[in-house]
Amino acid sequence: MNITMNDVTIYTTQYCPYCIRAKQLLNAKNIPYEEIDVGGDRALRQKMEQLSGGYTVPQIFINTQPIGGCDELYQLENSHQLDALLQS
């Protein structure tokens, strides 16, 4: 699997436990990602909301497609769909 940082983007805040958990899964699978911290930056958070349709963090994008947050990321992993999505 040849994944680049541009393939996965995760919008986070610093102390969010769901953000930490999502990054732990990505790190455990050696999936590189671009992290965008929206904590304290209203403009970045608004951009995240416009792109994802969600207002909570994390908001995760794979190949520019919003997949949701931490729960959705783990659902993809548990249903063995995450790797396939990353390869597409």
> What is the Cα–Cα distance from 31 to 86, expressed in whole angstroms?
9
DSSP state of 59: E
DSSP state of 32: -
Check residue 82 and give its pLDDT.
95
First-last CA distance in the chain: 10
Q: How many CB atoms lie within 10 A of CB 39?
A: 14
12-64 residue pLDDT tens: 999 999 999 999 999 999 999 999 999 999 999 999 999 999 999 999 999 99
Question: Encoding tokens for residue 77?
Answer: 């992993």
- pLDDT at position 5 over 60: no
pTM: 0.92
> What is the Cα–Cα distance from 21 to 42, expressed in whole angstroms?
23
Domain architecture of the chain: domains with CATH: 5-87 (3.40.30.10)
